[in-house]
Structure 1
Amino acid sequence: MTDDTAADSESAEEPELGSEMADHRTEMSSILGDAYRGELDRETTWRSRLDQTTTWGVTVVAAILTFAFSSPDNPHYIILVGILAVSLFLLIEARRYRDYDVYRSRVRLFQQNLLANALDPSAGVEHEDWRSKLSQDYRTPTLKVASWEATANRLRRIYLPLLAVLLVAWLFRITAFAPNESPLTTASIAVVPGVLVVAVIALYYVALSMIVLWPQDREAKGEFREGDPNEWKESN
């Protein structure tokens, strides 16, 4: 048998391998169990990456505040540098959160439709076509959460409090440390007038508040939500 013939024979058999496994319940249960453990491990890995970014943000905030208030001669705009750095961490974490949600959504499909049904078969499955959905996701993996939602999620949970602390610290720095000067004068940076600096900071925080408060349907899977579980269950 030539190499081309052998390759054609193997390719003809390969498409049937999956369907043969699906007909054997024991083998299929083993495959699904291994797949669940694999997806859970990937979810845990990306969860740890989210925690790493958060740790960087908290460390930077602590270092910036320590330096800014260690001496009256230290410039106030070092806190603005901290705001910029934390905002960068926010964008990094939002991107990581989108990747994390890919694996979290798969884990939730297993939990909602396989594990939950095994524990209580009378309740049925959450999604009748969950195996088709999981198969399609394995064939064509896609990000399921928009950048807007990911940013709002991380802001709401972690970064808005950090940025609020930096804002309060900056306002205190330009007022209490220069009581004989106008805050608008103290807020100036080199040739940039204080009015412009304050306006930019104000607009930035208004934009952050709008991102957090803007109503929208959430696409992220497996989020802990308050209220009646039937309400958000229907929304999904």
Structure 2
Amino acid sequence: MTEQPSDFDPDSREEREVAGEAATDRDEFLSLMGHTYRGELSRTTSWRTRIDRTTNWAVVLTASLLTWAFSTDTRPHYVLLVGVVMVTVFLGIEARRYRVYDIWRSRVRLLEENVFANALDPEGVEQSNWRELLSSDLREPTIKTPAVEAVGRRLRRVYFPLLSVLVGAWVVRITVFAESAESAVATAAVGSVPGTAVVGGVAVYYAAVAAATVWPSGRQAKGALESDDDTVGKEWK
């Protein structure tokens, strides 16, 4: 271990503010931004992996339940509803992870837009106060993506198709052996819960999920790939 000089005083203003000198030295500042970018990119990759892991769990669970539920005629239909509940739990976990992931991704995009893009094609920075924004976020990290947007984005990307498959499979399961619509509703009963209540609950749940998927909302998440028609925010909210 390298020994510190005998006159080193960690409480002195000069030592405490040593990093501030990089703000006035162009070479040191650009070097510092390179290290910052690599660190934030590593965090982004780590949280992206966590999001993908939750998605994999949901896909495997859905495939397993579908295989098991249709393997024989005696399989209970409500197992598919249990799958709907579990996939919804995964959706909540992934939405929370997505919100944290966007903290690091927003910093990466801020550096890419205002440092690296401008170095390659110096047409001016996207945000004139990008250093102030980054400094403020490093001092007080904040979640920038609302929970509603995070849930909606994950539904559109992954979870609405999975939930649709499960609900559709459940409808097929209770109707394929039914002689009429009335008997299909009766077949949907779970224990002492009548079939009408179960069907009504599933219909309300699916309608709510569909509304959350298609409901328009202002985009707060920064740095996601979008189509040309989508509006990209220029400032953090």
Match of 2:139 in 1: 139
Mapped partners of 1:103, 1:157: distance in 2: 20
Shift of 1:10: 2.3
SS of the aligned residue for 1:195 comes to helix
Alignment of 1:154 with 2:154, yes or no, is yes
Structure 1 residues 68, 133: CA separation in 2 closer, same or farther (over 3 Å shift)?
same
Unaligned runs of 5+ in 2: 1-6
SS at match of 2:17: helix
Give runs of ≥4 in structure 1 deviating > 6 Å: 6-9
- Structure 1 residues 20-29 or 173-182, which shifts more? 173-182
TM-score, normalization by structure 1: 0.91
Pair 1:234–1:222, CA change in 2 (3 A): closer
- Between stretches 170-179 and 123-132, larger displacement belongs to 170-179
How far residue 233 of structure 1 moved from its aligned partner, in angstroms, is 5.2
Distance 2:233 2:218 in 1: 12
Q: Once the two structures are superposed, what CA deviation does each residue of 1:101-148 show, in whole Å capped at 9, x if it has no partner?
A: 000000000110001000001x20000000100000000001111111
Structure with the bigger percentage of helix: 1
TM-fit CA distance, 1:25 = 1.6
Residues 233, 143 of structure 1: alpha-carbon distance in 2 compared, 3 angstrom cutoff? closer
Aligned to 2:201: 200
Give the 3 Å change call, closer, same or farther, for CA 101–235 of structure 1 in structure 2: closer
Matches within 5 A, 1:10-89: 10-89=11-90
Q: State the distance in 2 between where 1:99 and 1:117 align.
A: 27
Aligned-partner Cα distance in 1 for 2:229–2:206: 32
SS of 1:232 mapped into structure 2: coil
Q: What corresponds to 1:178 in structure 2?
A: 178
Distance in structure 1 (CA, Å) of the matches to 2:21 and 2:228: 44
State the distance in 2 between where 1:233 and 1:149 align.
Answer: 14
Amino acid at match of 2:97: R
Task: Say whether the 8 Å CA contact 2:9–2:15 is kept in structure 1.
Answer: no
**What amino acid maps onto 2:88 in structure 1?**
S
Distance 2:94 2:234 in 1: 29
Instruction: Please state how far the C-alpha of 1:224 moved relative to its aligned partner.
Output: 1.6
Q: CA deviation at 1:174?
A: 0.2
If the length of structure 2 is used for normalisation, what is the TM-score? 0.91
Give the counterpart letter for 2:124 in structure 1: G
Cα distance change, pair 9–78 in 1 and its aligned pair in 2 (3 A): closer
Q: Percent identity?
A: 50
Look up the match of 1:3.
Answer: none
**Unmatched tracts of structure 1, length 5 or more:** 1-5
Alignment coverage as a number of residue pairs: 229
Q: Which moved more, 1:110-119 or 1:19-28?
A: 19-28
CA distance in 2, matches of 1:7, 1:24: 23
Give the CA deviation at 1:8. 7.5
